[in-house]
Amino acid sequence: MIVRKFKIPSVPMTTNKSIRFPNPVIEQVENAIRGTDCTFTAFVVEAVKLALESLEEDKK
């Protein structure tokens, strides 16, 4: 199994989508991206991509 390491991404091209997050999760993400050029959205998109890849690997 190939495990890809999470990297804080740069800002991707996106479509607006509303989603609610628990406040503690928001705080953790904001702390993780503080001092980088990464946005909250870009971080979440990268995390979701990694989660989807993991699920695909689990299917194999």
Residue 6 lies in a domain: no
Q: Tell me, what's the pLDDT at 48?
A: 93
Which helix (DSSP H) or strand (DSSP E) does residue 43 occupy? helix 40-59
Instruction: Judge if pTM exceeds 0.75.
Output: no
- Please determine, for residue 11, whether its predicted confidence score (pLDDT) is greater than 90: no
Q: Tell me, what's the pLDDT at 2?
A: 66
Residue span of the structural domain in which 49 resides: 23-59
Positive or negative, the CA dihedral 26, 18, 11, 51 is: positive
Residue 44 lies in a domain: yes
Residue 28 lies in a domain: yes
The pLDDT tens digits of the residues spanning 18-55 come to 999 999 999 999 999 999 999 898 899 889 999 999 99
What distance, in Å, lies between the first and last C-alpha atoms of the chain? 9
Total tally of structural domains belonging to the chain: 1
- Please determine, for residue 9, whether its predicted confidence score (pLDDT) is greater than 90: no
